[in-house]
Amino acid sequence: MLVIGVIPSIFIRAAILSSYENRAISVRESEVQNQLGIIAKHLITYDYLRDPTNEAINAELEQMSNLYDGRILIIGGNFKAIKDTNGVSAGKIIVSEEVIKCFKGQKVVNYDSKNGYIEMTTPITETVTDEETGANTDVVRGVMLSSVSTDTIAMTMRIIGRVAWTIDIVVIAIVFAIAMLFSRVLTKPFNKVTGAISEVGEGFTDEALSVPDYAETEHIVDAFNKVLARMRALDESRQEFVANVSHELKTPITSMKILADSLMEGPDKPVELYREFMEDIAGEIDREDKIISDLLTLVRLDKTNTDLDLSSNSINAMIEMILKRLKPIAAGAEVELIFESAREVVTGVDEVKLNLALTNLIENAIKYNRPGGSVYVSLDCDHQYFTVEIKDTGIGIPEEALEHIFERFYRVDKSHSREIGGTGLGLSIARNIIMMHRGTVSVESVTGEGSVFTVKVPLV
Ligand code: ADP
């Protein structure tokens, strides 16, 4: 605002002063020229060029030079100065460019702004009538070389300049005051928002940011509140995760402690009991180990979210390998594994990670099955995606649990899952990996009949 307000006023001042100067000088010039023109006529009338003693003319010339604080030189036809109102150059020969030009009938005007005067030449012309033809011709008999002071103009300009400066200072002060006012009014809502944000930053409270009355910051406040809500949700899930991890890691330790305590208590126990309890303790250690390694896998996946080691792989071969590896477990659970593939699918995937994801899904289909049940794995693809469907004839998942089963540590039936060695992290790991491949995993299930997990991953 300062720049917009002040710069034009400085330019306007300069323009006004310069146009005043031009105008005043040209008025002064024409005024003096007029007067000199009249005097020139008188000079001819009274034949002053031949007889410069005419009192009336001399008085007129004096008056003129006094009036304009200047000097008038009358130069005759032989370039000799007939009269100098200063008296200095009278009788001298004056041959200058201006004088010569003037004898040729050309008026010359020079404005010397530095020294503050205007110099001009005025021809002294006589009209001569040709006796034979009767035609009139102007003959230049002499030249008036005059200089007039422009001090009064300069003084007026100084006064105007001073007034302009005063106006400039007043304008600057007004503009400055307005600019200050505006900047304060405009930044006030933003300062309020900044203040409110710092308050929120100090304590992670449940309050939403509120800066009422300002439309300017409404969008910022809304966006900030959204971010805040997301941060709170993240914080809550982090706290919940830590609580879950502690709980999950504590359970096997508690069991081991109980087993060990009961062995140490009371009189000597039979060796068989020792053996049985030690086996249980070893089982709990395995479980603890599984939870920790699953957790490490999850954390590593979170950390290297975009870090996929893609290579061209046959998905058919991958599934066949998994099924081969899981066959003994399936046989132990009396579950049949069936693989159907409509076509050969070869695409870029992270082999280790996708293998882990599919293993988790197929393992679940075996774990949550019933003796004599089956797991159907089918593979198909179109021009955009490949799809793996894992269908089991197991216990199914209740409707209300479907939206939670991909959450960390979520298990439908805690004790059953624990019995069969589940950590509650398998599906979470699987979903993370599939999402890293920009794919999706969905589930449909009917309790008591079985579940279908569908994995859809874009072809690369
Ligand atoms: P877990 O290690 O307990 O198997 P997951 O994350 O793999 O953990 O699965 C979470 C829960 O989802 C399981 O505890 C189980 O209750 C349920 N679930 C997963 N897959 C199936 C399935 N194929 N059939 C029935 N329930 C399943």
Burial 63-76 (b: 16+ CB within 10 A, else e): ebbeebebbbbbbb
One-letter amino acid of 456: K
Query: What does the alpha-carbon distance between residue 422 and residue 176 come to, in Å, rounded to a whole number?
Result: 73
The residue whose C-alpha atom lies closest to atom 8 belonging to ligand 1 is 424
* pLDDT for res 339: 97
What is the distance in A from the centroid of ligand 1 to the CA of 405? 7
Q: What is the pTM of this model?
A: 0.58
Query: What does the alpha-carbon distance between residue 325 and residue 313 come to, in Å, rounded to a whole number?
Result: 18
Verify whether ligand 1 is closer than 6 Å to residue 122 (CB atom): no
Same-domain check for residues 321 and 282: no
One-letter amino acid of 321: M
What is the distance in A from the centroid of ligand 1 to the CA of 404? 10
Same-domain check for residues 151 and 6: yes
Same-domain check for residues 444 and 367: yes
Verify whether ligand 1 is closer than 6 Å to residue 361 (CB atom): no
* pLDDT for res 389: 97
Same-domain check for residues 16 and 74: yes
What is the distance in A from the centroid of ligand 1 to the CA of 245? 18
CATH number, domain containing residue 27: 3.30.450.20
Given the CA of residue 396, which atom of ligand 1 is nearest to it?
A: 25
Secondary structure of residue 404 in the 3-state scheme: coil
CATH number, domain containing residue 243: 1.10.287.130
Residue 200 lies inside a defined structural domain of this protein: no
Residue 431 lies inside a defined structural domain of this protein: yes
Query: What does the alpha-carbon distance between residue 365 and residue 339 come to, in Å, rounded to a whole number?
Result: 13
User: Residue 440 pairs with which residues in a beta bridge?
Assistant: 456
Mutate to test the pocket of ligand 1, among 411, 413, 420 (most ligand atoms within 8 A of CB): 411
Verify whether ligand 1 is closer than 6 Å to residue 252 (CB atom): no
User: Residue 443 pairs with which residues in a beta bridge?
Assistant: 453
Alpha helices in 271-350 (DSSP H): 271-303, 315-332
Mutate to test the pocket of ligand 1, among 251, 329, 397, 443 (most ligand atoms within 8 A of CB): 397
Query: What does the alpha-carbon distance between residue 146 and residue 130 come to, in Å, rounded to a whole number?
Result: 32
Query: What does the alpha-carbon distance between residue 380 and residue 191 come to, in Å, rounded to a whole number?
Result: 59
Residue that is last in its domain, among 141, 158, 175: 158
Burial of 413 (0-12, 13-18, 19+ CB in 10 A): middle
What is the distance in A from the centroid of ligand 1 to the CA of 374? 16
Query: What does the alpha-carbon distance between residue 13 and residue 202 come to, in Å, rounded to a whole number?
Result: 54
Do the Cβ atoms of 151 and 69 come closer than 8 Å?
A: yes
* pLDDT for res 235: 86
For 298-340, the pLDDT digits (tens) are 888 877 666 788 999 999 999 999 999 999 999 999 999 999 9
Residue 385 lies inside a defined structural domain of this protein: yes
Verify whether ligand 1 is closer than 6 Å to residue 422 (CB atom): yes
Given the CA of residue 412, which atom of ligand 1 is nearest to it?
A: 16
Residue 429 contacts by C-beta under 8 Å, 6 or more apart in sequence?
294, 297, 298, 301, 356, 357, 360
Verify whether ligand 1 is closer than 6 Å to residue 411 (CB atom): yes
Same-domain check for residues 414 and 311: yes
Same-domain check for residues 278 and 321: no
Query: What does the alpha-carbon distance between residue 373 and residue 44 come to, in Å, rounded to a whole number?
Result: 141
Q: Domain residues for 268?
A: 215-301
Residue 295 contacts by C-beta under 8 Å, 6 or more apart in sequence?
245, 425
Verify whether ligand 1 is closer than 6 Å to residue 393 (CB atom): no
CATH number, domain containing residue 404: 3.30.565.10
Both tokens of 91, joined, read: 């009788």
Residue that is last in its domain, among 301, 320, 347: 301
Burial 389-412 (b: 16+ CB within 10 A, else e): ebbbbbbbbeeeeeeebbbbbbbb
Verify whether ligand 1 is closer than 6 Å to residue 450 (CB atom): no
Residue 47 lies inside a defined structural domain of this protein: yes
Query: What does the alpha-carbon distance between residue 34 and residue 339 come to, in Å, rounded to a whole number?
Result: 119
Mutate to test the pocket of ligand 1, among 427, 429, 442 (most ligand atoms within 8 A of CB): 427
CA distances from 217 to 67, 223, 224 (A): 71, 10, 10
Query: What does the alpha-carbon distance between residue 168 and residue 163 come to, in Å, rounded to a whole number?
Result: 9
* pLDDT for res 229: 87
Query: What does the alpha-carbon distance between residue 201 and residue 70 come to, in Å, rounded to a whole number?
Result: 81
Mutate to test the pocket of ligand 1, among 356, 358, 364 (most ligand atoms within 8 A of CB): 364
Residue 205 lies inside a defined structural domain of this protein: no
Do the Cβ atoms of 48 and 42 come closer than 8 Å?
A: yes
Residue 86 lies inside a defined structural domain of this protein: yes
* pLDDT for res 203: 63
Verify whether ligand 1 is closer than 6 Å to residue 417 (CB atom): yes
What is the distance in A from the centroid of ligand 1 to the CA of 364? 6
Same-domain check for residues 274 and 399: no
Same-domain check for residues 33 and 65: yes
Verify whether ligand 1 is closer than 6 Å to residue 248 (CB atom): no
The residue whose C-alpha atom lies closest to atom 7 belonging to ligand 1 is 426
Same-domain check for residues 312 and 369: yes
List the end-to-end C-alpha distance of the chain, in Å, as a whole number.
57
The residue whose C-alpha atom lies closest to atom 4 belonging to ligand 1 is 422
* Dihedral sign for Cα atoms in the order 185, 189, 194, 198: positive
What is the distance in A from the centroid of ligand 1 to the CA of 358? 13
User: Residue 120 pairs with which residues in a beta bridge?
Assistant: 109, 146
What is the distance in A from the centroid of ligand 1 to the CA of 296? 19
Same-domain check for residues 320 and 294: no
Verify whether ligand 1 is closer than 6 Å to residue 120 (CB atom): no
Residue 175 lies inside a defined structural domain of this protein: no
Length of the chain: 460
Residue 125 lies inside a defined structural domain of this protein: yes
Give residue for tokens 């920790």: 292
Low-confidence stretches of the chain (pLDDT < 70) are: 201-206, 304-306
Verify whether ligand 1 is closer than 6 Å to residue 147 (CB atom): no
Same-domain check for residues 297 and 333: no
For 107-160, the pLDDT digits (tens) are 889 999 888 899 999 999 988 888 888 888 888 889 999 999 998 888 998 999
Count of domains forming the chain: 3
* pLDDT for res 206: 67
Specify the DSSP element, H or E, that contains 63.
Answer: helix 55-67
Same-domain check for residues 19 and 87: yes
Q: Helix 218-264 and helix 151-202: axis angle, to 10°? A: 30
Which one-letter DSSP state was computed for residue 208?
A: P
Residue that is last in its domain, among 301, 319, 342: 301
Given the CA of residue 392, which atom of ligand 1 is nearest to it?
A: 23
